[in-house]
Amino acid sequence: MEIAVLVKPVPDAETRLRPDAGGSGLDPEGVKWVLAGYDESAVEQALLLKESIPGTSVRAISYGPLARAEEVLRFAIALGCDAATSVEQPAGAPDDPLVTAAALHLALSKRAVALVLCGKQAGDDETGLVGPALAEMLGIAEYGVAVNVRWDAASSALTLQQSVEGGLVRVRASLPAVVALQQAWNDPRTAKLPNILKSRKAAIERMPASEVSSAIATVQALAARRLAFRLPPPRTGAKMIEYKSPEEAAERLVRILREEAKVFP
Amino acid sequence: MVDFALTSEQTSLRDMARKFARTEMAPHAAECDRAGRFPDEIYRKAWELGLMNLNVPTEYGGTGLALFDQCLIVEELAHACAGMTTSIIANCLALEPILLGGTEEQKHRILDPFCAEYHLASFCLTEPSGGSDAGSLKTHARRDGDHYVLDGEKCFITNAPFASLYTVFATTDPTLRHKGINAFVVSRDTEGVLPGKEEEKMGHRASATSTVRFEGARVPVANRLGADGEGFSIAMRTLDQTRTPIGALATGIAQAAIDHAAAYAKRRHTFGKPIAEHQAIQIKLADMTQALRAARLLTWEAAWTIDHGERGSLESAVAKCFASDAAMRVADEAIQVFGGYGYMKEYPVEKLLRDAKLAQIYEGSNEIQRIVIARELLQRYA
Ligand SMILES: Cc1cc2nc3c(=O)[nH]c(=O)nc-3n(C[C@H](O)[C@H](O)[C@H](O)COP(=O)(O)OP(=O)(O)OC[C@H]3O[C@@H](n4cnc5c(N)ncnc54)[C@H](O)[C@@H]3O)c2cc1C
């Protein structure tokens, strides 16, 4: 069977973010794009499933500006995905989870995919909507915040554990399905150097912007409009306490909390 | 065209090495340093990920990277632990003579099975009576039919206690000096190959170093690399290739020293402000940064020169010598920035100084590098 894993390029955590000239979006200049953290967990789960189910292949799919999408797809191939599809974001298309879901739906509707894995949310906008919206468009079930996914050959179904308030629930899910991953229990693997080299030359299937435009036309009208993009104000007011002993530090802290911050009388 | 921008392929190689260095090596660096432990499990993992036989072409089972790309990786690894890095790149040093002097048949016969599994190899040149004067080796190779019989002792050999393969330089006739030297590939299983016990070292304590004795070890003539008497040339050409990554290793140490020192300088307060706001500390950090960046660029230039098909003796000697001297100075200043804490083993910077020291000594001491540089320079004024 074919497993699809959805991968989103997000700014690297070490990148310094800046608003663009219009003040409503991120200035892409100098941004390093990497695979979103939860998506990396999704790739890891997809590869573990591939290793446990004979005859399974994994296709990574990414929607976004071509160069960005292909960078994370090559990373996914280096990790062990068998194939990749890049869905080109038309110029001017809004960054909106419903639009993203519609674009990915176009790529998925052309393939017989039994299982779609994705991160429960992306590390940039954190909407957590793409998985559920895509499942709705595909007309299949969605399972969120999964921490691990196993294939039960006897019942030909998935068993997955979902993280809920204060614990875990174990669920049996039949296919097809969309499963959104929480941080996986097992650390995502590191790509091997020879695989990184091979991934640079791997062929990537492309869905051109022209094709994507018509697929997203309807939902695009519903897309949320981003009004402003600002960085949080720089933190101020930190106060260093000079002290010689822990007792003195505690005493000064209490005095500041009481007299300056007025946290308690 | 000169271009300092890395390709996206190079960025991904470097990022991968950085991830391995930070997640697999760095957390164990202090513990291995303290205990002098050889972390075999980390080296095995490095091999699994293709970080071990970087210079061996893919057709023989290696990773097959250009020297420039090797240097990017070595700098990242050394940032986490120079000692582990020495053991990880020792295979490159030990296998380079085979790449340079071996026939197609020898390369496939020796390298294919070696690279297919986790194995360590050692480069055996230095002897107790001297390392710098490599032309006057005492380890003797006597021809006996279709074998050579090796007798003698090598010392300071990286990974020797755990290696399964040794490239050994020995003389068939000491009176011929360097013209009598041959290079041999010797399997650990050979009778009369006796690695000694691990040395206690000042730094690079996650790496293992020992003597190797050869007592009548019989090595097939088929395992001699190159023509009779070509051994010295193979050794020198090997070091021309592997010196540059030592520049990268030193650069990694210097980068780590600056990372620690700058972060500490912003955290530590004296006289009511972070020490980073005292100009004396700023000047230190500025000088450290200059040394670091020059070390990196000289390393890149040497690697680039060699990747463009030149021998690069001058460039690689400049890179290795400058970068290791720079790492020493930068690590020294990092300790100074840390003050008394810098002198304590609980903090990471004193290790950097101990580790940087070796880069001035091995793969040709910096005195020898300066001899090479001057020789290459003066030749141009004939
Ligand atoms: C941890 C460690 C790992 C090592 N790993 C390996 C390995 O894997 N394989 C291997 O073969 N070797 C290895 N070595 C050996 C290393 O390469 C030698 O130590 C080095 O080449 C210097 O040789 P030596 O120690 O015999 O010093 P000597 O050659 O005795 O030199 C002593 C001093 O005199 C200086 N000197 C020598 N000749 C001259 C000259 N003509 N002009 C000016 N100054 C001179 C030297 O620079 C040095 O300062 C390792 C060493 C160490 C410490």
Q: Pick from B20, B55, B78: which is nearest to B240 by CA?
A: B55
| Shared-domain flag, residues A170 and A251 | no
Question: Does residue A226 fall inside a structural domain?
Answer: no
| Shared-domain flag, residues A143 and A249 | no
Q: Is A67 on the interface with B (CB under 8 A)?
A: no
Torsion of CA B356, B362, B364, B370, to 10 degrees: 20
Question: Does residue A188 fall inside a structural domain?
Answer: yes
Q: Is B47 on the interface with A (CB under 8 A)?
A: no
Ligand 1 proximity of B157 Cβ (cutoff 6 Å): yes
Ligand 1 proximity of B121 Cβ (cutoff 6 Å): no
Per-residue pLDDT tens digits for A78-100: 999 999 999 999 998 988 999 99
Cα–Cα distance for residue pair B145/A160, rounded to 1 Å: 68
The domain that holds A125 is classified in CATH as: 3.40.50.620
- Which atom of ligand 1 is found nearest the CA of B86? 3
Highest mean predicted confidence (pLDDT) among A197-201, A251-255, B316-320: B316-320
Q: Helix or strand or coil: residue B94? A: helix
Residue A197 has pLDDT above 80, yes or no: yes
| B12: closest CA of chain A, how far (Å) | 7
Hey, whose CA ends up nearest to atom 50 of ligand 1?
Answer: B156
Cα–Cα distance for residue pair B160/B150, rounded to 1 Å: 17
| Shared-domain flag, residues A13 and A48 | yes
Residue B69 has pLDDT above 80, yes or no: yes
Per-residue pLDDT tens digits for B206-253: 999 999 999 999 999 999 999 999 999 999 999 999 999 999 999 999
Ligand 1 proximity of B159 Cβ (cutoff 6 Å): no
Q: In sequence order, what are the residues at sequence separation of 6 or more whose Cβ sits closer than 8 angstroms to the Cβ of residue B45?
A: B20, B24
* Distance between Cα A19 and ligand 1 center (Å): 55
Ligand 1 proximity of B124 Cβ (cutoff 6 Å): yes
Hey, whose CA ends up nearest to atom 45 of ligand 1?
Answer: B367
Question: Which of A15, A193, A241 is most worth mutating to test chain B (most B CB atoms within 10 A of its CB)?
Answer: A193
Respond yes or no on whether the N-terminal peptide bond of residue B220 is cis (omega within 30° of 0): no
| Shared-domain flag, residues A215 and A240 | no
The mean pLDDT value for B100-108 works out to 98
Per-residue pLDDT tens digits for A211-258: 999 999 989 888 888 889 888 888 877 777 888 899 999 999 998 888
- Which atom of ligand 1 is found nearest the CA of B133? 29
Question: Does residue A7 fall inside a structural domain?
Answer: yes
Per-residue pLDDT tens digits for B255-282: 999 999 999 999 999 999 999 999 999 9
Residue contact B16–A196, C-beta within 8 A? yes
Closest residue, chain B, to A72 (C-alpha)? B12
Cα–Cα distance for residue pair B110/B219, rounded to 1 Å: 14
Q: What residues of chain A, 197 to 216, have a C-beta less than 8 Å from chain B? A: 197, 199-200
Distances (CA, A) of B68 to B240, B244, B294: 14, 9, 16
Q: Is B19 on the interface with A (CB under 8 A)?
A: yes
Residue A125 has pLDDT above 90, yes or no: no
Q: What is the largest CA-CA distance in chain A?
A: 69
Residue B167 has pLDDT above 80, yes or no: yes
Position B3 scores a pLDDT of 84
Ligand 1 proximity of B210 Cβ (cutoff 6 Å): no
Domains, chain B, with CATH or none: 8-116 (1.10.540.10), 121-228 (2.40.110.10), 233-379 (1.20.140.10)
Residue A62 has pLDDT above 70, yes or no: yes
* Distance between Cα B361 and ligand 1 center (Å): 6
The one catalytic residue in B75, B363, B367, B376 is B363
Portion of chain B with pLDDT greater than 70, in percent = 100
CB B265 within 8 A of CB B281: yes
The mean pLDDT value for B367-380 works out to 96
Position A23 scores a pLDDT of 87
pLDDT tier, A126 (very low <50, low <70, confident <90, very high otherwise) = confident
Residue A50 has pLDDT above 90, yes or no: yes
* The dihedral sign for the CA sequence B179, B132, B237, B156: positive
Question: Does residue A78 fall inside a structural domain?
Answer: yes
Closest CB from B20, B50, B269 relative to A194: B50
Residue contact A193–B51, C-beta within 8 A? yes
Rounded to the nearest 5°, which phi and psi values hold at B193? -100, 115
| Shared-domain flag, residues A192 and A261 | no
| Shared-domain flag, residues A243 and A135 | no
| Shared-domain flag, residues A215 and A243 | no
Residue contact B16–A74, C-beta within 8 A? no
Closest residue, chain B, to A76 (C-alpha)? B12
The beta-strand segments (E) located in chain B are: 121-124, 140-144, 147-158, 165-171, 181-187, 193-195, 209-220, 224-225, 269-270, 273-274
- Which atom of ligand 1 is found nearest the CA of B160? 8
| Shared-domain flag, residues A29 and A118 | yes
Q: In sequence order, what are the residues at sequence separation of 6 or more whose Cβ sits closer than 8 angstroms to the Cβ of residue B64?
A: A197, B55, B56, B57, B58
Position A24 scores a pLDDT of 85
Known catalytic membership, residue B363: yes
| Shared-domain flag, residues A258 and A172 | no
Cα–Cα distance for residue pair B365/B126, rounded to 1 Å: 12
Cα–Cα distance for residue pair A108/A97, rounded to 1 Å: 16
> Where in the sequence is the domain holding A263, given as residue range(s)?
235-265
Closest CB from B19, B63, B269 relative to A190: B19
Position B303 scores a pLDDT of 98
CB B349 within 8 A of CB B338: yes
* Distance between Cα B130 and ligand 1 center (Å): 7
Residue contact B50–A71, C-beta within 8 A? no
Ligand 1 proximity of B214 Cβ (cutoff 6 Å): no
Hey, whose CA ends up nearest to atom 30 of ligand 1?
Answer: B130
pLDDT tier, A124 (very low <50, low <70, confident <90, very high otherwise) = confident
B269: chain A residues, CB-CB within 8 Å: 240, 242
What strands, in cross-sheet order, belong to the sheet with A167-173? A167-173, A157-164, A141-152, A177-181, A115-119, A2-6, A57-64, A83-88, A205-207
Q: Pick from A74, A88, A79, A6: which is nearest to B7 by CA?
A: A74
A192: chain B residues, CB-CB within 8 Å: 48-50
Please give the distance of CA B111 from its chain centroid, rounded to a whole number.
20
Output DSSP code: residue B188: T
| Shared-domain flag, residues A205 and A154 | yes
Position A185 scores a pLDDT of 63
- Beta strands A9-11 and A205-207 are unpaired
Output DSSP code: residue B356: H
Token pair in block for residue B45: 């993992």
Hey, whose CA ends up nearest to atom 12 of ligand 1?
Answer: B126
* Distance between Cα B362 and ligand 1 center (Å): 6
Question: Does residue A37 fall inside a structural domain?
Answer: yes
Question: Does residue A246 fall inside a structural domain?
Answer: yes
String of DSSP letters for A46-106: HHHHHHHSTT-EEEEEEEESHHHHHHHHHHHHHHT-SEEEEEEPPTT----HHHHHHHHHH
Q: Is this complex scored with an ipTM above 0.90?
A: no
Residue B382 has pLDDT above 80, yes or no: no
Count of pairs with CB atoms under 8 A, one residue in A, one in B: 44
Ligand 1 proximity of B202 Cβ (cutoff 6 Å): no
Hey, whose CA ends up nearest to atom 52 of ligand 1?
Answer: B156
| Shared-domain flag, residues A246 and A175 | no
C-alpha count within 13 angstroms, C-beta hemisphere, residue A71: 22
Per-residue pLDDT tens digits for B331-362: 999 999 999 999 999 999 999 999 999 999 99
Portion of chain B with pLDDT greater than 90, in percent = 97
Question: Does residue A228 fall inside a structural domain?
Answer: no
Q: Helix or strand or coil: residue A247? A: helix
Closest CB from B8, B49, B269 relative to A190: B49
Instruction: Domain count for chain A, please give it.
Output: 2
The mean pLDDT value for B87-99 works out to 98
* Distance between Cα B365 and ligand 1 center (Å): 6
Ligand 1 proximity of B117 Cβ (cutoff 6 Å): no
Across chain B, mean pLDDT equals 97
- Which atom of ligand 1 is found nearest the CA of B126? 11
Exposed e or buried b for every residue in A187-222, given b needs 16+ CB within 10 A?
A: ebebbbbbbbbebeebebeebebeebbebbeebbee
Per-residue pLDDT tens digits for A141-196: 999 988 889 999 888 899 999 988 889 999 999 999 999 998 866 678 899 999 99
Question: Does residue A13 fall inside a structural domain?
Answer: yes
Helices (H) and strands (E) in chain B, counts: 11, 10
The helix or strand, by DSSP H or E, that contains position A35, with its residue range, turns out to be strand A33-35
Q: Please calculate the CA angle B327-B330-B334 and round it to the nearest 5 degrees.
A: 135
A196: chain B residues, CB-CB within 8 Å: 9, 12-13, 16
Position A74 scores a pLDDT of 96
The beta-strand segments (E) located in A134-210 are: 141-152, 157-164, 167-173, 177-181, 205-207
Position A110 scores a pLDDT of 84
Residue contact A71–B8, C-beta within 8 A? yes
Q: In sequence order, what are the residues at sequence separation of 6 or more whose Cβ sits closer than 8 angstroms to the Cβ of residue B116?
A: B61
Q: Is B63 on the interface with A (CB under 8 A)?
A: yes
| Shared-domain flag, residues A258 and A198 | no
Portion of chain A with pLDDT greater than 90, in percent = 59
Distances (CA, A) of B80 to A131, B21, B75, B124, B248: 38, 5, 9, 27, 13
Across chain A, mean pLDDT equals 91
